[in-house]
Structure 1
Amino acid sequence: MICIYKSTSETTPTLRQLDTIEHGCWINMVAPSEQEILLISKKTGVPVEFLSAALDEEETSRIDIEDNNLLVILDIPFTEMEENSLTYDTYPLAIIHTEKEIITVCLKNNKMLTDFIEGNIRSFYTFKRSRFILQILYRVASYFLVCLRQIDKKSWMIQKKLHKSMNNKVLMQLLSLQNSLVYFSTSLKSNEITLEKMMKLEIMQKYEEDKELLEDVIIENKQAIEMTSMYTNILSATMDASANVISNNLNLVMKILASVTIVISIPNIYSGIFGMNVKGLPWSNAPDGNGFAIVMTLMIVTTLVSIVYLNKRNML
């Protein structure tokens, strides 16, 4: 899918969609086909390798320059629904700076770019190409922080369930979050290297405001790295403790079941002994059913004594 946008003016900036490529426009490509890649490459002069680089899920963050075309690939966060639960992953986003246009290529629609399209971001202009790239980078770093806070809240919700859990579902949810943090950590560190390389590019040194914005992006990215490291350590400790908690919960249930079994077995012992059809049992010849009352009283008393004893030993 190819969508072309352009800011109307600098005084009253609005984004309008175009049918053809114009100078200063933004070409947004989402999961483009080979024909679409060849078409854009022919009309803009951008190498096909640049346009198809972000279509590889394993593509790492990097910078490449060829014939006045600047390629910046960054890993960006994504949230997906899996078994009624949010999971987090990263995908590459390619931003290509040409002499006339800005081109973005990604495998999926993402929140960072749709914010620009839907007008949630103010004061951005497609014809200010360097500034626009930096604003996209800032949104990427900010969205990493948003996802990390969501992971933190989700981990706390899971930990609350952990106190009563006796199955592996909670462990698998924690493992999923821990895997997400590993992906985030790898992507953020890779992005950090790319951002530091951008500090050395002349195109980012033209205006002081652009340089300050890039510094802000680097700061946000470093903050995301620190948060990822902290949450990873917390989740690792939680994972170690959760297995012990689940095992302890199962032991408590088994202890209670064993105590209940002991209490229930007492009436069975009495009924088994005094239910035997043999002579000589105590109180078998007691008049007016007194024998039954005596046996029932002994059974109840013994059962109550056992309950009191087990309760004092914290087994009930």
Structure 2
Amino acid sequence: MIEIFKTIDGNIQKLDEITTNSWICATHPTPEEILHISERCDIDLNDVKASLDIEEASRIERTDNYTLILVDIPSREIRNGNDAYTTIPLSIILSKDVIITVCTEDSIVLSHFKAGKHKDFNTSKRTRFIYHILYSNTSVYLNCLRNIDKSREDIEARLHKGTKNIDLIELHELESDLVYFATSLRVNGVVLDKLTRYGKIEHYAEDQELLSDVIIENKQAIEMANIYRDILNGTRELFASIIDNSLNQVMKGLTSITIIMAIPTIISGIYGMNVNTDGMPFSDSSFGFAMICTITLVTCAISAFVLKKKGLF
């Protein structure tokens, strides 16, 4: 789908045709739409569809007619039946008279621009518009990182009720999200650093200040991703420790029960041997069975008390 926008009298408006200083927003474009953009704006076909490859690397490329900026943006997906985050490419093409964005999905990074909710946004100020998009991208990353950390806190809160396999799976998914984010943010940071030294894009003082803000926000996002990943690793280790400790407690309890149950087994085994009853304690007493049972119960009680004092039961 292709949408065309242009700032007219300070307001963003949707157009039917491509005009000078307009913004062409291509969301999962068809081959025909890609060909149309390529021919109408004199852009190489491969560059127009570069972001449609989810494995495409972030970079900056310059030709005589346009500049291609490719960055990774956050995206939601269903992974193992659960909501998860990943990253997808977004290409920003700065030509002589228009700006083109191409992405495989309608991202929140661009949605508020199309809705006209972003202040100080003008399609005719193309360099500044690019930096606004990059700033919006880093802001979305930060929000997603906060959501990931909140999900981790919810999982930790459930630790008090016991560990479940689903919690371990969710922790693994969160760790995968952070790996995707950290990798993409680092590559985006390289692109941003190149933009500061890129002399083929016209910069103004206010544009340079905005780019500096984008770089600062991107570095903050990288730090947050690394911190949250370290915390998540600590949470995983906590899960493992709790599971090991619970297993140890169960094994100690079972061992103690086995020791206690062995006492009546030994006594009954001795008295059950096919030997002469002469000389066997209480064999001649009419209360012998009751006395043996009493001694057995007392012995078991003493053993349980000793094990309890030693913390084994």
The alignment's TM-score, normalised by the length of structure 1, stands at 0.84
Match of 2:61 among 58, 61, 64: 64
Q: What is the match of residue 4 of structure 1?
A: 4
Give the letter aligned to residue 233 of structure 1: D
CA distance in 2, matches of 1:65, 1:198: 12
How far apart are the structure 2 equivalents of 1:167 and 1:277?
52
Deviation digits for residues 244-284 of structure 1, max 9, x if unmatched? Answer: 44333322221122222333444555566667898736546
The root-mean-square deviation of aligned C-alpha atoms, in Å, is: 3.0
Letter in 1 for 2:310: R
Distance, in Å, in 1 between the alignment partners of 2:271 and 2:6 is 95
Aligned counterpart, 2:131: 134
Does 2:224 align with 1:227?
Answer: yes
Counterpart residue type for residue 97 of structure 1 = L
CA distance in 2, matches of 1:137, 1:66: 21
Verify the 8 A CA contact 2:148 2:174 in the aligned structure 1. yes
Q: Percent identity?
A: 43
Aligned partner of 1:225: which letter?
I
Match of 2:309 in 1: 312
Relative to structure 1, is the Cα distance of residues 120 and 255 closer, same or farther in structure 2, using a 3 angstrom cutoff? farther
Q: Which residue of 2 aligns with 1:258?
A: 255
1:78 aligns with 2:75: yes
Partner amino acid for 1:226? E
Q: Could you tell me how far apart the structure 2 residues matched to 1:16 and 1:166 are? A: 53
Residue 147 of structure 1 corresponds to which residue in structure 2? 144
More displaced 10-residue stretch of structure 1: 237-246 or 162-171: 162-171
**Structure 1 residue 91: deviation in Å?**
1.3
Query: Among residues 106, 113, 119, which one is paired with 1:109 in the alignment?
Result: 106
Q: CA deviation at 1:112?
A: 1.0
Structure 2 length normalisation: TM-score?
0.84
Contact kept? 1:171, 1:243, Cα under 8 Å: no
The SS at the match of 1:188 is helix
Unaligned runs of 5+ in 2: none
Structure 1 segment 7-22 matched on structure 2, within 5 A: 7-10=7-10, 13=11, 15-22=12-19
CA–CA distance in 2 between the matches of 1:118 and 1:253? 59
In structure 2, how many angstroms separate the alpha carbons of the residues matched to 1:258 and 1:84? 40
* Deviation of 1:221 (Å): 0.8
Give 1:172 shift: 4.4
Structure 2: distance between partners of 1:19 and 1:276: 101
Distance 1:77 1:114 in 2: 13
- Partner of residue 218 from structure 1, selected from 194, 215, 220: 215
Closer/same/farther in 2, CA of residues 84 and 310 from structure 1, 3 Å limit: farther
Once the two structures are overlaid, the 10-residue window that deviates more, 55-64 or 278-287, is: 278-287
CA distance in 2, matches of 1:261, 1:152: 44
